[in-house]
A and B are shown apart, each in its own frame.
Chain A
């Protein structure tokens, strides 16, 4: 079973920040949090990952709470091309994806 829970869907206005939450309350100390996204009919695309500290790359920012039981993926300026299903997963040696959040960016 997936170790994460995410809202099934979210909408975001184009140009605004999209904040996608993820709960991983059973995460253990050495497990990483990874975010992927999947655009229709393609394989998932890696976005970002983190262990304890907040992370930022050219695509997004990842905010992990101090107790590590939840995290938020932030797309700072959402575009129409960011419409996709976003998966938050906790990595052991098995990469188990949940059902993700379907983000719809609205013009």
Chain B
């Protein structure tokens, strides 16, 4: 069966520090992968999506970047965090070409101080 893992679950970082959030999917191949962010009290904002290794599409200009070094690995990074980067980050996946259910990870809560 397919599973999705996301870590770390909670992170407190100072402004200006780097960030790396990791997401891995098991039990599937060539999934479409997504990174979302949810600021406190707000809706889900699509940040990045990827349809294959090395293929990243950015939805909004921001202080973050994403990479997909392996088929089932999706990494969200920042070189220098801003206060506005605080939020709940969710990774999600779906089978390539499918229009079915989107599966979400457990989420990573980032607080930038």
* Given A41-B107, A43-B104, A43-B107, A95-B43 contact (CB < 8 Å): no
Task: Jot down 22 A-B pairs with beta carbons below 8 A, ordered by A.
Answer: A32-B99, A38-B44, A41-B109, A43-B92, A43-B105, A43-B106, A43-B107, A44-B44, A44-B102, A44-B104, A46-B102, A49-B100, A87-B43, A87-B44, A93-B32, A94-B59, A95-B46, A95-B94, A97-B43, A97-B45, A98-B43, A99-B42
A96 interface contact, C-beta 8 A: yes
Task: Tell me, in angstroms, the Cα distance from A72 to B88 when the chains sit together.
Answer: 28
Contact with B along A14-50 (1 / 0, CB 8 A): 0000000000000000001010101001111010010
A residues near B104, Cβ cutoff 8 Å: 43-44
Q: How near does chain A come to B56, taking the closest CB pair, in angstroms?
A: 13
Asked if A99 and B43 make an inter-chain contact with CB atoms under 8 angstroms apart, the answer reads: yes
A residues near B46, Cβ cutoff 8 Å: 94-97
Task: Tell me, in angstroms, the Cα distance from A94 to B34 when the chains sit together.
Answer: 9
Q: How many A-B residue pairs have CB under 8 A?
A: 49
Q: Which of B34, B45, B99 has the most CB of A within 10 A?
A: B99
- Select A97's contact among B44, B105, B109, beta carbons within 8 Å: B44
Interface size on A, residues (CB 8 A): 21
Task: Tell me, in angstroms, the Cα distance from A38 to B104 when the chains sit together.
Answer: 11
Q: Which are the 4 A-B pairs with shortest beta-carbon distances?
A: A43-B104, A99-B43, A97-B44, A46-B101
B36 interface contact, C-beta 8 A: yes
Task: Tell me, in angstroms, the Cα distance from A38 to B90 when the chains sit together.
Answer: 12
Within 8 A of A (CB), among B51-67: 51, 59
- Select A95's contact among B51, B102, B109, beta carbons within 8 Å: B102
Contact with A along B81-113 (1 / 0, CB 8 A): 000000010101010000111101111010000
